[in-house]
Amino acid sequence: MILIGMLDSPYVRRVAVSLELLNLPFEHRSLSVFSTFEAFSAINPVVKAPTLVTDDGTVLMESGLILEYAERLAAPGLTLAPTELAAHARAQRIIGLALAACEKSVQIVYERKLRPAEKQHQPWLDRLAGQLAAAYRLLEAEARRADPWLFGDRPLQADIASAVAFRFTQEMLPEALAEPCPALSALGARAESTEAFRAFPFG
Ligand SMILES: N[C@@H](CCC(=O)N[C@@H](CS)C(=O)NCC(=O)O)C(=O)O
């Protein structure tokens, strides 16, 4: 399998860390959707990161769909989802919040970096900032329950998604984290110190 995309993308990073924790061998090609657009489009003409090329040559995109496929390949004991129904629902909620935090952060970064200053729309940026703050407020409340991880003694997808989202926002938009998130910060630091996260560092 080949994973394509840069590790400054929280979506690429969550797939890389997850494949590692699922014990699935893969090659990582660090192509950018911007600076290496042509090379990227030769593999996936839609130019979305992450892209995963399976061993039979199928080209997948969307981190959630890639991870659904990866879970099917992995040994059942390594699954990154809790099995009990209520815990599964809570995990899906946390992943949804983390992905919303990623999406709102990326939208703010694109608005600021890709649009000329005179064309930036402040009401849109304000709306994104409010949505981002709401996602982190709710994630922080969830992270307060971590012991040491969100679902017990090993990191699952909810931990991975929360940690990569928080790191991305910290790196790209530190001023957007208006309210302190001590529990999320501790969870992120714990995640970043693991072997799987250190194998695929931000940036
Ligand atoms: N929902 C997607 C989001 C992926 C995404 O937005 N990736 C960005 C890089 S961080 C990208 O491909 N940007 C280029 C573009 O959208 O044209 C996922 O979960 O994979």
DSSP state of 31: -
Tokens matching residue 74: 């992995």
Query: In angstroms, rounded to a whole number, what is the distance separating the alpha carbons of residues 170 and 187?
Result: 14
- At 62 the pLDDT is 98
Distance 203 CA to ligand 1 centre (A): 15
Per residue in 34-56, pLDDT (tens digit) is 999 999 999 999 999 999 999 99
Q: What is the CATH number of the domain that holds 110?
A: 1.20.1050.10
Residue 148: asked if its preceding bond is cis (omega within 30°), the reply is yes
- Does 90 lie in the same domain as 67? no
Please work out whether the CB of residue 200 comes within 6 Å of at least one atom of ligand 1: no
Number of structural domains (the chain) is: 2
- How many residues are present in the chain? 203
What is the pLDDT confidence band of residue 140, given thresholds at 50, 70 and 90? very high
Q: What is the pLDDT confidence band of residue 150, given thresholds at 50, 70 and 90?
A: very high
pLDDT (0 to 100) of residue 179: 87
Tell me: do 47 and 69 sit in the same domain.
Answer: yes
Given ligand 1 and candidates 9, 11, 32, which is best to mutate, with the most ligand atoms within 8 Å of its CB?
11
CATH number for 40: 3.40.30.10
**Looking at the domain assignment, is residue 187 inside a domain?**
yes
At 178, the pLDDT band (50, 70, 90 cuts) reads confident
Q: Which residue's C-alpha comes closest to atom 14 of ligand 1? A: 48
* Two tokens, residue 110: 């694109």
